[in-house]
Amino acid sequence: MQKSRANLMNLERLRHQAKLIMHQAQRCSATSKRTGKPCQAPSVRGLRVCRFHGARGGAPTGPANGAWRHGLHTNEAVAERRRLNDLVRDAKMGLRQLFGREQ
Ligand SMILES: [Zn+2]
């Protein structure tokens, strides 16, 4: 009886000493500019930095962004206009070469 009670107390002590899974998580690799020491916050899963040090990836894009107006100047719209302008320029050049007109 006395021995099993000692075993239980020993187990309880071990349980307190054991690290929880959340404490074993990979730590943030960022360095504090205030203290010069490592951040040590748990890093976001799959990344090397914590949520305070750039793991969230900035503002939403598209209509979800508060600065969205009409989409005229999105990267996709600008690229589409450039492709179209390239096509028109090439077509004009081809016509010029075909008909020999300088203009
Ligand atoms: Zn951090």
Ligand 1 centre and the CA of 16: distance in Å?
27
Give the H or E element holding residue 58.
Answer: none
pLDDT of amino acid 88? 98
Ligand 1 centre and the CA of 21: distance in Å?
19
The rounded distance, in Å, linking the Cα atoms of 94 and 81 is 20
Regarding pTM above 0.85, the answer is: no
What does the pLDDT profile of the chain (103 residues) look like in tens digits? 567 788 888 888 777 777 777 788 899 999 988 899 999 999 988 889 999 888 777 788 889 999 999 999 999 999 999 999 999 999 999 999 999 865 5
Residue 86 structure tokens: 């390239």
Ligand 1 centre and the CA of 64: distance in Å?
27
Ligand 1 centre and the CA of 30: distance in Å?
5
pLDDT of amino acid 37? 93
